[in-house]
Amino acid sequence: MERMALDSTALTWIRYLPEQRILQVSLRTGRDYEYRDVPLSIYRELLAAESKGRYYNRHIRNNFPFREVR
C-alpha cells in the first residue's frame, strides 16, 4: 500500500501493510515510527477520524509494539 498524505497538524503520512499488520506513521516532528500488530480496523478508524492526531495519541501511540525508523 502506498503512503497516504494526511491533512493533520500532527501526522504527515501513514502507510498500512495489511499482510504484516504494520502501520507506518510519519509525524510532523520529523520522526517516523512503525507499529506492529495493528488491526485493519484501527487503520480505517484513523483515516476516518476528524482529528487524526488525537486518534493517533489515544488509540495507537503506546498501545502497540513499535520502533522508531530512521
| Alpha carbons 46 and 19: distance in angstroms, whole number | 18
pTM check: above 0.85: yes
Residue 41's φ and ψ, nearest 5 degrees, are -60, -35
pLDDT of the residue at 1: 77
If you write DSSP's letter for every residue of 24-62 in order, what string do you get?
EEEETTS-EEEESS--HHHHHHHHH-S-HHHHIIIIITT
pLDDT of the residue at 54: 97
pLDDT over 90, % of the chain: 96
- Express each pLDDT in 7-55 by its tens digit: 999 999 999 999 999 999 999 999 999 999 999 999 999 999 999 999 9
pLDDT of the residue at 69: 95
Whether residue 4 is predicted with pLDDT greater than 80 in this model: the reply is yes
